[in-house]
Structure 1
Amino acid sequence: MGCLESRQEISSKFNEVAHAYDQQRRKLIPCFDDFYDTAVSLADVSASSPHILDLGAGTGLFSSMLLRRYPKAKFTLIDLSPKMLEIAKSRFHESADVTYLVEDYTNFAAPGKFDLIISALSIHHLSDTGKRTIYRNAYANLKPGGILINADQVLGATPFIESLYTNNWKSKVEASGLARDELDSAYERTRLDRMSALETQINWLKEIGFSDADCVYKNFNFVVMFGRKRSGG
């Protein structure tokens, strides 16, 4: 599948599930609270009204959590799915300074503008080349000292470990109370996944120039990655 067709399919699949996405997410992410709490805790910036870029923002869930921490923040939410961003607009109403962009975030450029760049459960849909491009652009788009937080899913380091991840997730979501059609839809969306190994991605961040690149949280294949742009970068 080519890049354009892949992005069109991602947009289509997430448009279909937009109305129920937030209700399902807690059940589809068995470690939901720890996963997001860790990501929010890492978003420690000195600005009282930070500029925050949310890549693959979806319904704005991650950004809404950061809004509680930084009520004066200025957000830019980018997503391929217009219906997902419609949910985000209804979530924020007029209570926040938010810009919505319905577009492919892969080549988004606003050099040196953001204090914080975040992403949740989106970058794993990209090829290895796409991921590296995202990380390079994120480094360029951050202010010196700015932070990147990617809360995402990663590929198991070996086929055996990957099977452990997959089987654990399926056993938990099957017991979550989701209806059969909701489960089938979730399994169908996993066809869009193009996960990469955690160690590989941390190494990319280091090569690009991020300091303190690390995995701060891990629960099977759910991870929270962190990187900081050098103050002189």
Structure 2
Amino acid sequence: MSNSPDSKPEEMESFFETRASGYDEHMKNNVESFEELYDKVSQPIESTEEVIEILDLGCGTGLELAGILKRAPNSLITGIDLSEKMLKILENKYSKFMNQITLIKDSYTTYPFNKKKYDYIVSVMTMHHWLEGEKLDLYKKINSALKDKGKYIEGDYVTSKEEEKQFLLRYKEKIKLLDKKKIYHIDIPMTEEKQVRLLKEAGFKEVEVIHRANENRIFVAIK
């Protein structure tokens, strides 16, 4: 996890702005089975030369885009992220593809991305920042933004039932003294079972876990 139990919460945008330059290296060193995870995240996307629409929530520096573009080189990708510095790094890394990549600096929690319909929606290492009710609302929004039989692919942390309770208790203690109108970087991961349940409650017809490596999972949910 990226924040210690006693650390003071930072606003989400500021947290990632100050860590943007070293983010890729941090992820490579700290994400269990990093190469395998980011390779497998793109695997549910069918290989195609066709123009398809893909939405990347919390796209950051675009670590997952390399695999996605290999499988769907002509895809039109929309990336949403709070950090301007991270989006700039993504833009530099994928300069050859910027004619087919649209970047939006905003919070995907409030941005109306469901005004469009996508073939695939992807999120990697970002959904563990939201409470159960917030996550359910996000999953419903994601479901509504997918085309019929579209896929939502999520790579993220999970935890045990006991640790989930501890994370939630720490969150409640930290949030007491914070401005409720702002978004803070606080890890509150959930169990694999709860993740699956929430996706099904959000209306997804099928939910599968295609990758397990210690605390990391990849979920695939089909509309």
- Into which bin does the TM-score normalised by the smaller protein fall? 0.7 to 0.9
1:74 corresponds to which residue?
76
Say whether 1:137 aligns with 2:131: no
2:117 pairs, out of 107, 113, 120, with 113
Cα distance in structure 2, aligned partners of 1:95 and 1:84? 16
1:166 corresponds to which residue?
none
Cα distance in structure 1, aligned partners of 2:114 and 2:198? 21
For the structure 1 residues 82 and 7, does the alpha-carbon distance in structure 2 shift closer, same or farther, using more than 3 Å as the test? farther
SS at match of 1:12: helix
Moved more, 206-215 or 66-75: 206-215
Cα distance in structure 2, aligned partners of 1:46 and 1:199? 32
CA contact (8 A) 1:150 1:225 kept: yes
2:101 corresponds to which residue?
98
For the structure 1 residues 17 and 151, does the alpha-carbon distance in structure 2 shift closer, same or farther, using more than 3 Å as the test? same
| 1:180-219 equivalences in 2 (<5 Å) | 192-219=186-213
For the structure 1 residues 7 and 84, does the alpha-carbon distance in structure 2 shift closer, same or farther, using more than 3 Å as the test? farther
Name the TM-score, length of structure 2 as normaliser.
0.80
1:167 corresponds to which residue?
none
1:183 corresponds to which residue?
none
SS at match of 1:41: coil
Cα distance in structure 2, aligned partners of 1:137 and 1:8? 26
Count of matched residue positions in the alignment of Structure 1 and Structure 2: 196
CA contact (8 A) 2:38 2:63 kept: no
1:149 pairs, out of 138, 145, 153, with 153
Structure with higher helix content: 1
Following superposition, the deviation at residue 156 of structure 1 comes to 1.5
Amino acid across the alignment from 2:159: L
Name the TM-score, length of structure 1 as normaliser.
0.77
For the structure 1 residues 214 and 147, does the alpha-carbon distance in structure 2 shift closer, same or farther, using more than 3 Å as the test? same
The alignment's C-alpha RMSD in Å is 2.4
CA contact (8 A) 2:129 2:188 kept: yes
For the structure 1 residues 226 and 147, does the alpha-carbon distance in structure 2 shift closer, same or farther, using more than 3 Å as the test? same
Cα distance in structure 2, aligned partners of 1:67 and 1:48? 12
1:50 corresponds to which residue?
52
Name segments (4+ residues, structure 1) moved above 4 Å: none
CA contact (8 A) 2:157 2:217 kept: yes
Identity of aligned residues (%): 29
1:227 corresponds to which residue?
221
**Structure 1 stretches lacking a partner, 5+ long:** 1-5, 164-190
